[in-house]
Amino acid sequence: MIIKIIFMLLHLHTYLFHQKSQANRWMWINKLLGNIYLLTAVNHLSMRIRVLSPMNHPLWVGVCSHSTSKTECWEPLDWRKQLGFIREMRSGRNAPVDNMGAERCYDTEAPAHVRRYQVLVSLMLSSQTKDQVTAAAMKRLRAHGCTVENILSTDDEKLGKLIYPVGFWRRKVNYLKLTTAMLQKDFGGDIPNSVEGLVRLPGVGPKMAHLAMDIAWDQVSGIGVDTHVHRISNRLGWLKKQSKNPEETRKALEEWLPREHWSEINWLLVGFGQQLCLPVNPLCSMCLNQHSCPSAHRSLIFLVGFDL
């Protein structure tokens, strides 16, 4: 919001510089101050307001059936409506994640334990890598033979050529070898069926673990939060306070988001982030949530009401 106000002031300065009439200048200054007040109020009301009682105890709005406490419940304003709009915008299922995500990178004809291994490998490769690059690397690995036995027998140089140019490919060659060796030794060539077991594998973090549980084992253990989910959750005001990293975002989302939405939220927001809610210059004018999103870009013409 502060950035928006700064831009408004800069544009207003330019506009007033060309105004000869002092009366006109004061008129537009008053108009700007009114709009800044309105913008501040709208930003403040982007989430439910918590009213403090005389004893300074919060009076929580509503009761969440999924909450561990029936007396305390926080949830963002209009999140169900916003989620519905995101579903509508994602109904075409034509984002890169829909065709090249981890759910599309394994051999559907392979034995179950091989499919699960390929899901894990694709998730490990996907970190800091576009879906298109990950999908291409997985295609080469499957053609080579993406099994525990084949990966262990492949030398590092060859494995590097197969996965290049995924992000940090040299490091991932090492992670793949170490993890695959652990899978063969400790899990009979399969992958662990728990988050705790998965995150002990080299190169596997909480996001990958939760997604692997969902895709490979068909078990919802938590929300898979990547940079897209992290960014969009903060932009929409879906967190009590701004989070610093994806793991903070995951914990904050799981506090209030009903469990039945945990599985879909990753692919919904990832695709939404790939197509509309971009990291830089998001396409807010095309978003169905542009009027309720606290971070939606408003043009100066809309906010102040005059042409520059």
pLDDT in tens, 197-237: 999 999 999 999 999 999 999 999 999 999 999 999 999 99
Q: Tell me the β-bridge partners of 52.
A: 58
What is each CA distance from 217 to 82, 171, 272, in whole angstroms? 29, 27, 25
Domain of 230: which CATH number? 1.10.1670.10
Q: Among residues 200, 205, 186, 196, which one has the least CA distance to residue 148?
A: 186
In a domain, 143, yes or no: yes
State whether 234 and 156 are in the same domain: no
State whether 228 and 207 are in the same domain: no
In a domain, 51, yes or no: no
Structure-token match 């009682």, residue found: 53
Residue type, 107: D
- Cα-to-chain-centroid distance, residue 34: 35
In a domain, 139, yes or no: yes
What is each CA distance from 219 to 12, 22, 45, in whole angstroms? 54, 67, 36
Domain count, the chain: 3
pLDDT, position 73: 79
Mean pLDDT for 67-84 is: 80
Map residue 286 onto helix, strand or coil.
helix
Least confident segment among 42-51, 129-138, 280-289: 42-51
pLDDT in tens, 118-174: 999 999 999 999 999 999 999 999 999 999 999 999 999 999 999 999 999 999 999
In a domain, 100, yes or no: no
In a domain, 89, yes or no: yes
State whether 123 and 261 are in the same domain: no
Q: Tell me the β-bridge partners of 59.
A: 51
In a domain, 133, yes or no: yes
pTM: 0.76
Structure-token match 């102040």, residue found: 304
Mean pLDDT, the chain, integer = 85
In a domain, 52, yes or no: no
Range of the domain at 38: 2-46+296-304
State whether 211 and 172 are in the same domain: yes
Instruction: Give the active site residues.
Output: 207
Least confident segment among 52-66, 69-83, 122-136: 52-66
CA separation for the pair 67, 253 (Å, rounded):
12
**Do the beta carbons of residue 113 and residue 149 sit within 8 Å?**
no
Provide the pLDDT confidence category of residue 24 given band limits of 50, 70 and 90: low
